[in-house]
Amino acid sequence: MSVRLGNGIGWRPEIADAVERMPGIDWVEVVAENVCPGHLPESLARLRGRGVTVVPHGVSLGLGGAERPDEGRLAALAERAAGLRSPLVTEHIAFVRAGGPLTASPRIEAGHLLPVPRTRDALDVLCENVRIAQDALPVPLAVENIAALISWPGEEMTEGQFLYELADRTGVRLLVDVANLHTNHVNRGEDPAKALAELPLEAIAYVHVAGGFERDGVWHDSHAHPVPEPVLDVLTDLASRVSPPGVLLERDENFPEAEEMERELGAIRRAVEKGAGRRDASPAAAVVGARPPSRQGPVDAARQRLALAQTAVLSALAAGTPVPEGFDRVRMGVQARALAAKRADVVAKVAPELPVILGEGYRPAFLAYAQTQPMGGGYRQDAMEFVEELLLARRPEDARVRRELREWWLERSGPAPRSSRPAVRLARATRRVLLRR
User: What is the model's pTM?
Assistant: 0.90
Other beta carbons less than 10 A from residue 90's beta carbon = 25
Region of 105 on the Ramachandran plot (φ > 0 left; ψ -120 to 50 alpha; else beta): beta
| Separation between Cα atoms, residue 100 and residue 105, nearest integer Å | 5
Give the H/E segment covering residue 133: helix 120-136
Question: Please, where are the H alpha helices in 189-228?
Answer: 192-198
Q: What is the pLDDT of residues 261-274, one digit of tens each?
A: 999 999 999 999 99
- pLDDT, residue 292, reads 47
CB atoms closer than 10 angstroms to residue 291: 14
Residue 375 bridge partners (DSSP)? 109
Read off φ and ψ for residue 244, nearest 5 degrees. Answer: -65, 135
Phi, psi of 311 (to 5 degrees): -65, -40
SS3 of residue 365 by DSSP: helix
Report which DSSP code applies to 254: S
Cα dihedral sign for 19, 175, 268, 185?
A: positive
CA dist., res. 86 & res. 140, Å (int): 10
Q: What is the distance between the alpha carbons of residues 318 and 323, in angstroms, rounded to a whole number?
A: 11
Confidence (pLDDT) at 42: 93
Q: How far apart are CA 149 and CA 142, in angstroms?
A: 23
Give the pLDDT confidence of 224-246 residue by residue, as tens digits: 899 999 999 999 999 999 999 99
How far apart are the C-alpha atoms of 194 and 178, rounded to whole Å? 13
- Residue 264's contacts (CB-CB under 8 Å, 6 or more residues apart) are 226, 227, 249
What DSSP letter does each residue of 54-95 carry, written as one string?
EEEE-SS--TTSSSPPPHHHHHHHHHHHHHTT-S-EEEES-E
Looking at the predicted structure, is the pLDDT value of residue 250 above 90?
yes
Cis omega (within 30 of 0) on the bond before 324?
A: no
Say what the pLDDT of residue 283 is: 56
Yes or no: say if 41 and 12 are a contact pair by the CB < 8 Å rule: no
pLDDT, tens digit, for every residue of 358-402? Answer: 999 999 999 999 999 999 989 999 999 999 999 999 999 999 999
pLDDT per residue as tens digits for the range 118-177? 999 999 999 999 999 999 999 999 999 999 999 999 999 999 999 999 999 999 999 999
Query: What average pLDDT is seen over the chain?
Result: 91
How much is the CA Rg of the chain, to the nearest whole Å?
23
C-alpha span between 188 and 118 (Å, rounded): 13
Grouping H, G, I as helix, E, B as strand and the rest as coil, residue 294 is coil
Number of residues assigned to the chain: 437
Helix and strand numbers, DSSP H then E, in the chain: 16, 12
Is pLDDT above 60 for 81? yes
Identity of residue 403: R
- What's phi and psi for 29, nearest 5 deg? -120, 140
